[in-house]
Amino acid sequence: MNFDFSDDQKYLKEQARKFLSEQSSMAVVRAVLNDEQKSHDANLWKAIAEMGWLGAAIPEEYGGLGLGELELCVLAEEMGRSLAPVPWASTVYFLAEAIKIAGTEAQKSAILPKLAEGGVIGCVAASEGPGEPRAATLKTVFDGTSVTGIKVPVTDGDCATHALVLAKHQEGTSLVIVDLAGAGVEAKSIKTFDPTRSHATLTFTKAPAQLLGEAGDGESLLQRIYDRAAVLLAFEQIGGSQACLDMATDYAKGRYAFSRQIGSFQAIKHKLADMYVALEIARSNAFYGAWALSSDAPELPLAAAAARIAACDAYYLASKENIQTHGGMGFTWEVDCHLYYRRSKLLAVQAGAPSLWKEKLVRRLEMRNAA
Amino acid sequence: MDFNDTPEEAAFRQRAQAFLAAHVQPKAGQTESLQKRLSDKEYMLAAKAYQKAKAENGFAGITWPKEQGGQGLAPIFSVIFGQEEGKFDAPAGPFTIGLGMCVPTVIAFATDAQKERHVGPALRGEEIWCQLFSEPSAGSDVAGLKTKAVRDGDDWVINGQKVWTSGAHYSDWGIVLVRTNADKAKHKGLSMFFIDMKSPGIEVRPIHQMSGGSNFNEVYFTDVRVPNSQMLGGEGNGWSVALVTLMNERLAVGGSPGPDYKEIFEWAKTMPGQDGGTLAEDQSFRQKVADWFVRAEGYKLAKFRTMTALSKGQTPGPESSIGKIITANQLQDITHNAMEAMDHFGIITDAAYAPSEGVFQQSHMWAAGLRIAGGTDEILKNIIAERILGLPGDVRVDKDVAFKDLPSGR
């Protein structure tokens, strides 16, 4: 039994944490929070590109480091812990992974090397309104060469260079890549619950687009991309949950009420123990997702769903009870609790909300049992 | 990252599988289990024969030192054997507490001659041990126990009452925690003895549980004499000795306690749902199945992480302490949902009518006890908070006060 990360991977994680504690400090996160014009921290983006992280899991022939998905998982955990205000997930988990699994040779050579250098920023443009985007409700159309339609919200849509767009195509849906510097693209920033990450409405008017993968395979390809991203997002969520638990534990030791540390009250202890249990469940499911992702195992769809659900639960619990543990201070702008509360919600609804994933999990369980 | 055994572990697993296949039957349904088919007496004989076979084939005391008759192997091998044994209907229950908690305490604190006398017979299933700690007024707060021992020559004389003792009625020996000095503070006036359960003055009465059954006992001590030589760890050191015993409890208790997501989901395919289809097609039910799956798999995978640490020769992380909180609450939740899903019919326990022979109803009763046995949810959460997260202990009002002066309430 070797159900753990290797010593090298743990070392990478440790280095990443040190690096991010300086380069993605709370001051850096808050600079993006407080400035509506600032979509992300450009210095941090440059720094992680220089570290090679953007291309960590990109093969060397395309300019990456050629490491595996497990290395990406440990980096994701630390990015999540530090609330890094950069389009990392959009670029690495979504765009890079999408091109790796479905891109043509030309698409790989055109995008991946630049992406590894930090010159490409990705985004996913799937949502058009409340609810899961589906063929029956999509309005955005791909005509074989261009897309037309409105996508909202698009995480990192106002700083991205390339968008993965889900559009109606022929009888079904297709996933297409749009170069956002091209004609027929308009991006307009919108306010969201998590201003540490930027969001936009993207309006496409006959914007030139390239098909990614098979025509008509859009929804299922997007799901395959989401299955992979779900594991990586789960690690971000674990990192964030652990940060909340650490923060709440620390506060409970230092804060006195009724002439004693509040952490000596069982009401607080049990709350923090519940957070710990949820986090351990999430971590264990995420580890399994990491194993499935890195070994291309047929278990991935089920493992990814479990990792995602457990991570969403753990981060929600940890972020809200961190505020509760801090009492009135926790509700202030100055204390960092709300930053995690905001991020936990973004990560929970991006790439499909937990209730959708629960139904997916059960369907996948039925398929596994039938097989 | 992989789930493979090392070559050494794989060889051991293969040996364990071969042994089990030769001595016990694979797990079957509830009603066909050994415990249900056999009388209590027959079951005990089968259990003793099985334990003897384990000892003869090198599967007893897997982690115990060789000089005590154990196998001297690392804890991972004990986990592997447990994994394989769990697939069989093996009558191992009567030995769990004795070999898991009591005899290790004896090994840690008894004299060589005493170990020579007791360890072998326990290992071979010839003698069964029980643990006598809890009392009517000392449950989560075990150190508040009142059963007292008074020195009389070479003996101590014990008077008092123990409770929730598993297997007291069939045990040959027990370890008993008693108060030897009520003038000292609570934790400091305790001592541990091992005692012959057939001693005059010991009376065992079954507890009538809320489930209707009787799996535990009350044990009354009336002027029971025990030699001073059977004290473990010295006078006044009972609490530290008890901690050694209790450290093993969380590992000894556990496993799959009843129907889980698999069972309820299979069953739901045969139950009517609210929307005209089956229960397994109802959206609200399916959302819950996903939650149950995530928790059950999460716990299973957390155990794999523990095994990984053991396999590398490391001390397992704190993740092993979350087990019972998850399994007991999950059992209560699943069985609650199964009963509610049946609507009025869910109240029936009569095996002739109740689906799955009433396993959900039975387990729903049992789950309430499981959340208490071997450390309540609340105590386990205190342990997580204090030992893992490092939060301060509760304010203690009993620390520097003589036990006899403490308020005791009901």
Number of neighbouring beta carbons within 10 Å of residue B410: 4
pLDDT at A201: 98
CATH of the domain at A342: 1.20.140.10
| Cα B71 from chain centre | 22
pLDDT at B32: 75
Same domain, A197 and A230: no
Contact A284 B305 (CB under 8 A): yes
The mean-pLDDT minimum among A29-33, A321-325, B286-290, B358-362 falls in B358-362
Residues 32 to 91 of B: which have CB under 8 A from any A CB?
Answer: 76
pLDDT at A329: 96
Check CB contact of A295 with chain B, cutoff 8 Å: yes
Q: Residue B343 is inside which H or E element, if any?
A: none
B366-386 burial, b if ≥16 CB within 10 A, otherwise e?
Answer: bbeebbebbbbbbebbbbbbb
Q: Does B252 score more than 50 pLDDT?
A: no
CATH of the domain at B183: 2.40.110.10
Look at residues B247, B210, B187 and name the one whose alpha carbon lies nearest to residue B375: B247
Check CB contact of A304 with chain B, cutoff 8 Å: no
What are the pLDDT digits (tens) for A193-248?
Answer: 999 999 999 999 999 999 999 999 999 999 999 999 999 999 999 999 999 999 99
Of the pLDDT bands very low, low, confident and very high (cuts 50, 70, 90), residue B294 is very high
Mean pLDDT of B21-39: 84
Tell me the pLDDT of chain B averaged across its residues. 92
Chain A residues near residue B9 by CB distance under 8 angstroms: 1
Give the residue from B8, B83, B260, B294 with the most A CB atoms within 10 Å of its CB, the best one to mutate: B294
Q: Report the share of chain A in percent with pLDDT over 90.
A: 96
Check CB contact of A233 with chain B, cutoff 8 Å: no
Last residue of a domain, one of A186, A216, A246: A216
Of B305, B391, B395, the CB nearest to A249: B391
Same domain, A234 and A353: yes
pLDDT at B248: 66
Same domain, A354 and A225: yes
pLDDT at B249: 58
What are the pLDDT digits (tens) for A298-318?
Answer: 999 999 999 999 999 999 999
pLDDT at B142: 93
Same domain, A190 and A260: no
The residue written with tokens 């040996």 in the block is B15
**Beta strands per DSSP E along A127-198:** 141-142, 146-155, 162-169, 172-179, 185-189
Domain that holds residue B34: 7-91
Q: Is residue A229 situated within a structural domain?
A: yes
Same domain, A227 and A356: yes
Q: Does B29 score more than 90 pLDDT?
A: no
d(CA A66, CA A70): 12
Phi and psi (nearest 5°) for B200?
-60, 140
The residue written with tokens 């447990």 in the block is B82
Mean pLDDT of B91-108: 93
Task: Judge whether A190 and A159 are in contact, CB under 8 Å.
Answer: no
Q: What ipTM is given for this predicted complex?
A: 0.95
Check CB contact of B4 with chain A, cutoff 8 Å: yes
d(CA A291, CA A295): 6
Q: Is residue B51 situated within a structural domain?
A: yes
Same domain, A289 and A184: no
Same domain, A200 and A263: no
Same domain, B171 and B191: yes
d(CA B273, CA A251): 47
Contact A266 B294 (CB under 8 A): no
What are the pLDDT digits (tens) for B188-208?
Answer: 999 999 999 999 999 999 999
Mean pLDDT of B83-99: 92
Check CB contact of A4 with chain B, cutoff 8 Å: yes
The mean-pLDDT minimum among A97-101, A103-107, A248-252, B380-384 falls in B380-384
Last residue of a domain, one of B217, B249, B281: B249
Of the pLDDT bands very low, low, confident and very high (cuts 50, 70, 90), residue B318 is low
Count of helices and strands (H, E) across chain B: 14, 8
Mean pLDDT of A339-344: 98
pLDDT at A27: 97
Chain B residues near residue A365 by CB distance under 8 angstroms: 265, 289, 293
Same domain, A230 and A356: yes
Q: Does A282 score more than 70 pLDDT?
A: yes
Contact A263 B385 (CB under 8 A): yes
Same domain, B291 and B244: no
Q: How many residue contacts between A and B have a Cβ separation below 8 Å?
A: 155
Contact B9 A1 (CB under 8 A): yes
Same domain, B261 and B242: no
Task: Judge whether B321 and B359 are in contact, CB under 8 Å.
Answer: no
Q: Does A11 score more than 50 pLDDT?
A: yes
Same domain, B231 and B150: yes
Chain A residues near residue B286 by CB distance under 8 angstroms: 358-359, 362
Nearest CA in chain B to A272: B385
Q: Does B343 score more than 60 pLDDT?
A: yes
Same domain, B81 and B185: no
Check CB contact of A43 with chain B, cutoff 8 Å: no
Tell me the pLDDT of chain A averaged across its residues. 97
Same domain, A193 and A232: no
Last residue of a domain, one of B372, B387, B403: B372
Give the residue from A1, A69, A268 with the most B CB atoms within 10 Å of its CB, the best one to mutate: A1
Q: From the CA of A318, how many Å to the nearest CA of chain B?
A: 14
Q: Is residue A100 situated within a structural domain?
A: no
Instruction: Please count the structural domains in chain B.
Output: 3
Side chain identity at B186, as an amino acid letter? Answer: K
Q: Does A31 score more than 70 pLDDT?
A: yes
Domain that holds residue A268: 219-370
Same domain, B292 and B323: yes
Q: Is residue A292 situated within a structural domain?
A: yes
pLDDT at B253: 42
The residue written with tokens 């039975």 in the block is B362
Helix axis angle for A337-349 and A26-34, nearest 10°, is 70
Check CB contact of A245 with chain B, cutoff 8 Å: yes
Same domain, B316 and B229: no
pTM for this model (two decimals): 0.94
Q: Residue B219 is inside which H or E element, if any?
A: strand B216-227
Look at residues A301, A290, A336, A155 and name the one whose alpha carbon lies nearest to residue A226: A301
d(CA B296, CA B302): 10
Phi and psi (nearest 5°) for B178?
-135, 165
For residue B408, give both structure tokens. 């005791």
Chain B residues near residue A321 by CB distance under 8 angstroms: none
Same domain, A227 and A211: no
d(CA A204, CA A123): 14
pLDDT at B315: 72
Contact A3 B1 (CB under 8 A): yes
Give the residue from B386, B389, B399 with the most A CB atoms within 10 Å of its CB, the best one to mutate: B389
Q: DSSP string covering B157-179, please? A: EEEEEEEEEETGGG-SEEEEEEE
For residue A369, give both structure tokens. 């049992």
pLDDT at B31: 61
Instruction: Please count the structural domains in chain A.
Output: 3
Contact A276 B389 (CB under 8 A): yes
pLDDT at B125: 97
Phi and psi (nearest 5°) for B70?
-85, -175
Check CB contact of A253 with chain B, cutoff 8 Å: yes
Same domain, B211 and B315: no
Check CB contact of A256 with chain B, cutoff 8 Å: no
Of B2, B300, B395, the CB nearest to A260: B395
Of A276, A287, A357, the CB nearest to B305: A287
Q: Is residue B398 situated within a structural domain?
A: no
Check CB contact of A274 with chain B, cutoff 8 Å: yes
CATH of the domain at B327: 1.20.140.10
Contact B385 A313 (CB under 8 A): no
Mean pLDDT of A241-267: 97
pLDDT at B317: 61
CATH of the domain at A133: 2.40.110.10
Give the Å distances, CA to CA, from B151 to A187, B156, B199, B306. Answer: 87, 4, 17, 45
**Beta strands per DSSP E along B41-101:** none
Same domain, B267 and B232: no
Of the pLDDT bands very low, low, confident and very high (cuts 50, 70, 90), residue B323 is confident
Chain B residues near residue A272 by CB distance under 8 angstroms: 384-385, 389, 391
| Cα B26 from chain centre | 22
d(CA B103, CA B203): 22
Contact A1 B3 (CB under 8 A): yes
CATH of the domain at A64: 1.10.540.10
Of the pLDDT bands very low, low, confident and very high (cuts 50, 70, 90), residue B410 is low
Nearest CA in chain B to A313: B291
Of the pLDDT bands very low, low, confident and very high (cuts 50, 70, 90), residue B303 is confident
Mean pLDDT of A131-137: 90
Same domain, A224 and A366: yes
Categorise residue A131: left if φ over 0, alpha if ψ from -120 to 50, beta otherwise: left
pLDDT at B24: 95
The residue written with tokens 């364990």 in the block is B16
Chain B residues near residue A253 by CB distance under 8 angstroms: 390-392
Same domain, A364 and A302: yes
Residues 322 to 361 of B: which have CB under 8 A from any A CB?
Answer: 322, 325-326
Q: Does A192 score more than 50 pLDDT?
A: yes
